[in-house]
Structure 1
């Protein structure tokens, strides 16, 4: 088990500062602000530096899929990013607004969200079965993928991971009843401006949502971090990553488990 934490170089620290400042000011980043990280370790070093600069605590983590051939190149099928407490928005039932940076990237993702019932022991050999024992509840959710950099997903997973894993918030919905028996069979769809843009469910997530948790547990341990009781794990896009423009509305429909409606507004204009 390795607890070594990468120390960011001056260049990596500058990239982290550029993204944090852009996010806080709601300003777009037109080009990646430095050399593209050569490894996931370098990307997470930037992310860790940005976490240290961000004025909020981590309330959870998002997972995103790394497709081939990047998965083979970087030795990982997923990437992780922090979700901050001020960016977790309990769903009220009405259409809820979220801020998108003009000229940046924004997308909605239907997600199954795991809530941890206990802190995770520090180890880097978690299996899916063992990870399941940490889960208290499963909820429906919508991850808001967002970045000041419009090309956040166009240059490989190290770029995506370096800017908080392309996370901008999480709409947290209600609990999924009897999730231990039902999780593998859950389905959902996403509509944007009334048109169905994606369908899928828990089976769309490689290995299932709990495999995302096992990956995260092992990855965070190697970064010198751990998961705490009450943290939320957004396990991956269940219908895909759906780009959304300012002014557009989205609905994630989880059938009997509920629905979440949201609308994108320009950064600075969202009210919750």
Structure 2
């Protein structure tokens, strides 16, 4: 593993966060060779900014389809807000909106347990679900056009997470699940459009990722599981709401 390049990318992201400005991805476009190196950058940023010392852990996990390689990122806890939320002076450079379902673990899991799970066993570990809004953002000047591994290193372009009220988890007919998003006066409706057909489908890959190298994921950990609406553009001042029929509601004023 090229530790000097990993550190270069990590320091670029740390400087961007500390100084409130975007780094130029072109200068280090080929610095990372694979996803493991991008995850190593994530770990340096999280450790340096003490995200792992903040109690409840929050993650994002997802992929474009069941055949895709899922990606994962631990999220900065200061950017996780209960609905109804106000973003205030949170330092966004861009505001993309994803409507999602977040899941909460009801039991701790270690690497040995994760290795032995199947889909049903992973889903059985979930005790609650909530509507969530992920605000997509970037620390790269190129935004979503930055190289894929640099976006992964940058928490897969994460800005903030808003969580609605928790309710008991139950499997649903996800193929008919309705989702409605309002951004200002604009309304978007979708039905059955989760990229993997079921927000719990990716739990197994996520659990094996978070417990790699002998780690343990604790009960109460939250993971948001991917968008139902793609990425919708929003602007400063917009009121954004997301409602999943039969599940709940979340809102944020940007």
Shorter-chain TM-score bucket reads: 0.7 to 0.9
* Distance in structure 2 (CA, Å) of the matches to 1:220 and 1:146: 23
Shift of 1:178: 6.0
Q: Is the 8 A contact 1:114 1:135 kept in 2?
A: yes
* Distance in structure 1 (CA, Å) of the matches to 2:50 and 2:125: 28
Residue 4 of structure 1 is matched in structure 2 by none
Residue 211 of structure 2 is matched in structure 1 by 221
The verdict on how the C-alpha distance between 1:33 and 1:135 changes in structure 2, with shifts beyond 3 A counting, is: farther
* TM-score, normalisation: structure 2: 0.84
Aligned to 2:58, which of 29, 46, 60? 60
* Distance in structure 1 (CA, Å) of the matches to 2:101 and 2:197: 13
Residue 24 of structure 1 is matched in structure 2 by 18
* TM-score, normalisation: structure 1: 0.79
Residue 180 of structure 1 is matched in structure 2 by 171
**Deviations for 1:200-230, whole angstroms, at most 9, x for unmatched residues?**
45x5131411112111012233455442110
Secondary structure of 1:136's counterpart equals strand
* Distance in structure 1 (CA, Å) of the matches to 2:205 and 2:169: 24
| 1:42 counterpart = 2:42 | no
The verdict on how the C-alpha distance between 1:224 and 1:38 changes in structure 2, with shifts beyond 3 A counting, is: farther
Give matches, 1:188-207, under 5 Å.
188-197=179-188, 199-201=190-192, 203-207=193-197
Give matches, 1:28-177, under 5 Å.
28-32=22-26, 34-36=28-30, 37-57=32-52, 59-66=57-64, 76-91=68-83, 93=84, 96-97=86-87, 101=91, 104-122=93-111, 123-124=114-115, 126-176=117-167
Q: Is the 8 A contact 1:98 1:262 kept in 2?
A: no
Secondary structure of 2:87's counterpart equals strand
Shift of 1:240: 1.4
Bigger shift: residues 244-253 or 106-115? 244-253
Q: Is the 8 A contact 1:111 1:235 kept in 2?
A: yes
> What are the ranges of 5 or more consecutive residues in structure 1 without an aligned counterpart?
1-6, 265-272
The verdict on how the C-alpha distance between 1:96 and 1:129 changes in structure 2, with shifts beyond 3 A counting, is: same
Give matches, 1:223-262, under 5 Å.
225-262=215-252
* Distance in structure 2 (CA, Å) of the matches to 1:34 and 1:223: 28
Aligned residues: CA RMSD = 2.7
**Deviations for 1:105-150, whole angstroms, at most 9, x for unmatched residues?**
3312111010111111314353211101211111111112222224
* Distance in structure 2 (CA, Å) of the matches to 1:18 and 1:35: 12
The verdict on how the C-alpha distance between 1:181 and 1:106 changes in structure 2, with shifts beyond 3 A counting, is: closer
* Distance in structure 2 (CA, Å) of the matches to 1:30 and 1:86: 25
* Distance in structure 1 (CA, Å) of the matches to 2:89 and 2:2: 30
Secondary structure of 2:202's counterpart equals helix
Aligned length: 248
Shift of 1:86: 1.9
The verdict on how the C-alpha distance between 1:174 and 1:90 changes in structure 2, with shifts beyond 3 A counting, is: same
| 1:212 counterpart = 2:207 | no
Residue 3 of structure 1 is matched in structure 2 by none
